[in-house]
Amino acid sequence: MGMLTPTLQHYVAGIEQEITAAMPSTDTLQKTVSEAMAYACEAGGKRLRPLLVLAFAELCGGTAQTAMPYACAIEMIHCYSLVHDDLPCMDNSLLRRGKSSVFAKYGEDMALLAGDGLLTRAFEWGLKPSHVAAAGADRAVEAMAILADAAGINGMVGGQTIDLESEGKSIDMDTLCALQAGKTGALLTAACEMGAVLGGADATAREAARRYGMELGLCFQIIDDILDVTSTAETLGKPVGADEENLKVTYVSLLGLEEAKRLARYHTDEALAALSIFDEKASDLTQMTKALLERSM
């Protein structure tokens, strides 16, 4: 995506390899769902969440290798959420990243099970004895507890619920923030905090990681809303103007374009400020964060 330094690109390459290895065997009676699970996790996404786990693990004194199973676990959660989002009773999307969605390719029943299978596999993987032994039981438990909280009713599932309940309604800024915090913010924040915990962060570093994740999540959402208005379909790789067409309340529709841009800049500065305690060790993340903002200005 042109925003990643060589170090971060190296992380992504490792993630692609490991998440493929983490998928269940397709040489079984339950072949179809195993294939659908692997298909849902295939390359194509930005791998932002697992990348943040690895980056913060190393920033806080750990190794990417020890943190890798937990990076894969959070990516499985992200991928499951996309599979269930695309189902007919949700967004009814036949396409995902330019390819057939899991439900379009494998059918609705298999997509439901593939999502359930991935959500469960994240915990199988993070709690696997060899992974727990490498990370240490206390850190592994804490990382997986953070992941469970962020994925559940107080995080991603909660955000989805607010989103469904808000459909066609004119929601206010508080509701939009709660929706975003759950739907996209929780998992990004969890990624940074999981990395910090796995790396053995002290309380200050852990809080900095958490703050960075929250601010990055806000940047991400606001910039997404801006690009839906200002970009072209060609640049974006997906249709523009979809939010307005769907009468979706966004940061742009609530605040106007200029104020949304100001807010994106503000949260980018806050994200960078959170990174400052890591000094130049955080230069890869700093560069990525700045590049993200520039995409929208």
Using CB under 8 A as the criterion, which residues of the chain lie in contact with a copy of itself when the complex forms?
24, 28-34, 37, 84, 87-90, 107-110, 112-113, 115-117, 119-121, 123-124, 127-129, 132, 137-138, 140-142, 144-145, 148-149, 151-154, 157-162, 164-165, 175, 178-179, 182
Smallest gap from residue 167 Cβ to a copy of itself (A): 10
Shortest separation between residue 197's beta carbon and a copy of itself, angstroms: 12
Using CA atoms, how far residue 188 sits from 151, 182, 184, 215, 266, in Å, is: 11, 10, 7, 9, 18
Q: Which two tokens stand for residue 148?
A: 């469970």
What's the length of the chain?
Answer: 297
Tokens representing 83 are 């599979």
Which own/partner pairs from 167-174 qualify as long-range (CB within 8 Å, at least 24 positions apart)?
168/247, 169/249, 170/249, 171/249, 172/254, 173/254
What are the angstrom distances between the C-alpha of 227 and each of 152, 183, 222, 258? 29, 19, 9, 13
* Minimum distance of a copy of itself from residue 84's CB (angstroms): 6
CB of 120 to a copy of itself, least distance (A): 4
Minimum gap (Å) between residue 295 Cβ and a copy of itself = 30
Nearer to a copy of itself, 64 or 110 (CB): 110
* Tokens describing residue 154: 């107080």
